[in-house]
Amino acid sequence: MPGKKTRSYCIALSGIIGALCVVLMFCTGLMPLGIYLLPAVAGLVVWIIYREINRKWALLCYAGVALLSFLLTPDIESKLLFMGFFGYYPIIRDIFTRIKPLVLSLLVRFLCFNIPVVAIYAFLLNILGMGQLLEDFAGFGSFAVLVFWLIGNFTFVCYDLFLDQLLYVYDKWLRKKINKLIR
């Protein structure tokens, strides 16, 4: 994170990134996988603030996007996924990757994913009565919840590995392009 940024730069970048994230969250219903994909992408976009400014500004932007998404976006599942996991995980992930040994680091990351995601789907299924979520997996019978959980964990592993690669790509290539657009 090179150099100290001015307050106006931080506010402007956070506003632009926040607006882009809200637009992404608003588009969650436009494509079949948008419910899952766009909250993850919005979290990656908020991560740019962490890389360019700091964690505090990124978490403030996340909070603003989470609030606006909660108020403005139509899909309850996607907004809960953003608020409960995808919005903040890229920002705090590096804290978990520094934990030694590696096994403990992986365990903490899996807990960071599974606790909120299981809570979100328990809320959706039991409180809001969104049983159609499991009807999509009707072919798996009584194992639908287990299959869904396994698919979710596999997707999390892919997402976590992608974050490693994104850091490299961002620092080597994307940062220069973003800075040209901003300045």
* CATH code of the domain containing 33: 1.10.1760
Residuewise pLDDT in 10s, the chain (183 residues): 455 789 998 999 999 999 999 999 999 988 878 899 999 999 999 999 999 999 999 999 999 999 999 999 989 999 999 999 999 999 999 999 999 999 999 999 999 999 999 999 888 877 877 766 566 665 666 677 788 899 999 999 999 999 989 988 998 888 888 777 766
Residue 41 lies in a domain: yes
Phi-psi map region of 129: left, alpha, beta (phi>0 left; psi -120 to 50 alpha): left
Domain count, the chain: 1
As given in the structure block, the two tokens for residue 159 are 């997402």
Rounded-to-10 torsion of CA 146, 151, 152, 154 = 120
In terms of pTM, does the model score above 0.75? yes
Residue 1 lies in a domain: no
Residue 17 lies in a domain: yes
Domain containing residue 144: 7-182
Residue 99 lies in a domain: yes
Question: Positive or negative, the Cα torsion across 67, 73, 75, 78?
Answer: negative
Residue 89 lies in a domain: yes
Amino acid found at 111: L
Residue 50 lies in a domain: yes
Residue 2 lies in a domain: no
